[in-house]
Amino acid sequence: MAFSYVNWDKSSAQANTNVRKVLSYLNSSDTLATIEAADYFLSVYSDLNEGDQILVYGSNGYETLNVTAASSSTVTTATLAQVPANSITNNDVNTAAAIAFSKLAALTSGNIIVGSVANVPTSVAMAGDITIIAAGTTAIGANKVLSSMVSPLLIKYAAVAISAVEFNGMYAAPKALVAAGGANTLLVLHGLDLLMTYVSANYAAGGVAAVQYDSTANGAGVIASTTLAASTFQAAASTGFKFNAGVVAQTFSTCVNKGLYLSNVTGAFTTGDSTFVAHVWYSVVPTV
């Protein structure tokens, strides 16, 4: 087919050739491919200038053509993208656009979008202490929440290994269980389970044992727990020993910013070779 002048509309044409014009053309007999062909608009070249745009309606749809050249010998056009690449900015998007998630790039199941070190939104798998699944359910991994992560006012827990050498020597060198909490803090002992794994030799001698504040030798620190007699530890089998919170008044000046230690009075334990694990529950409270 060929150009049909009766379907040509140049109502927006301007005399000034420096001004781009927008014209329209409708031909239900020709396809868009036919209309796009070189020199299709040659008969109206005088109406056209380079850069003009023609709104085209053909037999199989519509589009916009950009005039790339127009003279008495040739008229060429190129399909003009409806939206030029990289031309849409944030201000072009309506605040009520509510763009559907289906229009976004695919996101791996269970992944989340996080800003990268280059400040670029990036799909990543959640890892570390918390995981997430596609349904949106999160979970804290096993053994991920530690005492150091919670409020100091909550009950904390520590497990401390005690060797036979340390247990035999805690009369002169009390065994550290919990480090001091810092200035203007007080460690409050809630309880201690001392679990002994028997090896081969019983403990002998020794004296009354307890948890105390600070590392004062010979069990002379301020007592923080109940006490257990020396004979309690002389069993010939793996045994658990329970220390409850103490009933002795805690002298403010000698307990603030002091650690908790296991010690005993009278004398050192001897001969034993069993090992222990001290399971300690405590809180750190402010004193001001």
Looking at residue 146, its pLDDT comes to 80
The enclosing H or E element of 279 equals strand 275-286
Q: Establish if 118 belongs to a structural domain.
A: no
pLDDT (tens digit, 9 = 90+) per residue, 170-183?
999 999 999 999 99
CA Rg, the chain, in Å? 43
Looking at residue 59, its pLDDT comes to 95
CB atoms within 10 A of CB 34: 16
Judge contact between 122 and 107, C-beta under 8 A.
no
pTM passes above 0.75: no
Looking at residue 148, its pLDDT comes to 77
**Of the residues 54, 80, 106, which one is the last residue of a structural domain?**
80
**Of the residues 44, 60, 80, which one is the last residue of a structural domain?**
80
pLDDT (tens digit, 9 = 90+) per residue, 73-105?
999 999 987 666 677 888 888 999 999 988 889
Report the domain count for the chain. 2
Q: Establish if 104 belongs to a structural domain.
A: no
Q: Establish if 268 belongs to a structural domain.
A: yes
- Per DSSP, the chain holds a count of helices (H) and strands (E) of 3, 18
**Residue 65: alpha-carbon gap to chain centroid:** 50
pLDDT band at 16 (very low <50, low <70, confident <90, very high): low
CA gap 216, 225 in Å, rounded: 15
pLDDT (tens digit, 9 = 90+) per residue, 104-156?
899 999 999 999 999 999 999 988 888 898 888 999 988 888 877 877 778 99
Give the domain CATH number at 205: 2.60.120
Q: Establish if 137 belongs to a structural domain.
A: no
Give the domain CATH number at 39: 2.40.240
DSSP reduced 3-state for 19: coil
Looking at residue 187, its pLDDT comes to 93
Range of the domain at 19: 5-80
CA gap 160, 17 in Å, rounded: 90
Amino acid at 52: D
Strands 156-162 and 8-9: unpaired
